[in-house]
Amino acid sequence: MGRYEHSKIKKTKIIRGKSNPSSYNVISHRTTTYSSIPKTDGDIYVITQQGDRLDNLAHQFYGDVGLWWYIAKANNLTFITIPVGTSLRIPKSTQYAVGT
């Protein structure tokens, strides 16, 4: 599951140049928003050890290194690396990994 899989696409046409104008098509992703991730009884809590990173934990628990951001969001983190001894919540389900 890609992080931006459900993002809306924005298509824009721009024109540049005065004497010899050229037209360009610009395609970009719109901002994707994600709902909060509620705590459940099935969530797993871990204390990080030397060498732990969110991508490794995502692979271990979800089988997808690309879901590192989901663990980060659940724990209000912004980096893939985490200090040793950090308590992390690993959500049981990735059902809230779909944005709008």
Per-residue pLDDT tens over the stretch 13-35: 888 888 888 888 877 666 667 78
89 neighbors 61 (Cβ within 8 angstroms): no
What's the rounded mean pLDDT across residues 71-98?
A: 93
CA distance 39 to 24: 46
pTM equals: 0.69
- Rounded average pLDDT over 64-69: 93
> How far apart, in Å, are the Cα atoms of 79 and each of 14, 15, 18, 68, 71?
35, 38, 44, 9, 11
Per the prediction, the chain carries an average pLDDT of: 86
User: What pLDDT, in 10s, does the model give residues 37-58?
Assistant: 999 999 999 999 999 999 999 9
